[in-house]
């Protein structure tokens, strides 16, 4: 029975559509942000900061995990526990540690 419930849950989650816009509460305002405007997201303690194209960063009190679940996995990648990047904004990768990179 447990396996059936897990399978059903996976089916429901896979049918969920990624958000085109996010509703973010910041500084007493409610902002409607297009996900295509996000360069990257950086988590700090219980806040995350959205870094946007040609705009000041915007902070919100949601978890990185909740935000990640709302973003399109074809466009956004969590590269660290505190960083999600918009893959369309990556222009270059530079290896660290003598050219070996990280694994």
CATH of residue 52: 2.40.50.40
Rounded mean pLDDT of 78-102? 80
User: Mean pLDDT score of the chain, rounded to an integer?
Assistant: 76
pTM over 0.85: no
Measured CA to CA, the distance from residue 97 to residue 5 in angstroms comes to: 45
Where residue 66 falls among pLDDT bands split at 50, 70, 90? confident
1: pLDDT strictly greater than 60 = no
In a domain, 60, yes or no: yes
Measured at the CA of 63, the angle between CA 82 and CA 20, to 5 degrees, comes to 95
Residue 47's pLDDT is 63
In a domain, 50, yes or no: yes
In a domain, 42, yes or no: yes
In a domain, 94, yes or no: no
Domain count, the chain: 1
Residue 5's pLDDT is 65
Residues 6+ apart with CB under 8 A from 25: 31, 60, 61
Phi and psi of 89, rounded to 5°? -95, -10
In a domain, 79, yes or no: yes
101: pLDDT strictly greater than 70 = no
Query: 41 burial class (0-12, 13-18, 19+ CB within 10 angstroms)?
Result: buried
Range(s) of the domain holding residue 56: 21-89
User: What's 16's DSSP letter?
Assistant: P
In a domain, 16, yes or no: no
69: pLDDT strictly greater than 70 = yes
In a domain, 71, yes or no: yes
In a domain, 53, yes or no: yes
């Amino acid at each position: 029975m447990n396996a059936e419930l897990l399978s059903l849950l996976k089916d429901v989650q896979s049918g969920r559509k990624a958000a085109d816009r996010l509703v973010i509460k910041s500084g007493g305002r409610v902002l409607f942000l297009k996900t295509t405007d996000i360069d990257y997201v950086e988590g700090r303690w219980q806040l995350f900061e959205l870094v946007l194209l040609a705009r000041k960063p915007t902070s919100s009190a949601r978890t990185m995990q909740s935000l990640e679940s709302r973003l399109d996995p074809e466009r956004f990648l969590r590269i660290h526990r505190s960083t999600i990047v918009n893959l369309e904004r990556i222009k270059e990768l530079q290896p660290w540690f003598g050219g070996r990179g990280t694994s």
